Amino acid sequence: MTLLSKNILEKKIVFIDMDGVIVDLGKEIELKTTGLKDKKLLKSPDLIKGIFKNPPVYQGAKNAVHELNQSGKYELFIATSAPWENHESATHKRVWLEKHFKGVFEKKMIITHRKDLLIGDYLIDDRLSNGAEYFRGELLSFGWNYEKKKWNTFPDWKSVLEKLLN
């Protein structure tokens, strides 16, 4: 057994979604759609060229992720979807991670539209789509659910830390 596989077995695995969880994509969408007239892009703003390139970090995410990482209790991974039609989105997400979370998620990024196939203990996600609803571990429904227009069970990073570090 390698050191890496031994470390993973000793720690609980946490998958963290990006958009709406560590990335404040809502603010970036507001910025990029102001004055936009293209109805297709207004309906699907994740198709806007460059939308994933430089959005702000979600409030509290940076400190919370570092706290979880430093706790020694968890192996952290990114589990994100990238719009199939927005070819540059996966690259932009990967570069964004390095810029804002250097070293934390290096070679620990999974791009998938099937989060139900992930094997781990926790998934922190703001939506139930892309298989998150059927994740086999515990789903920590995070932040504002823009589809249902309501706050999820874990409205902010403070509530996530209370769950995972206490």
Q: Would you name the residues annotated as active-site residues?
A: 17, 19
Contact 59, 52 (CB under 8 A): no
Residues 6+ away with beta carbon under 8 Å from 30: none
Contact 21, 59 (CB under 8 A): no
Distance separating the N- and C-terminal Cα atoms of the chain: 30
Instruction: Give how far Cα 147 sits from Cα of 25, 26, 121, 143, Å.
Output: 14, 12, 25, 12
Q: Which two tokens stand for residue 156?
A: 């902010």
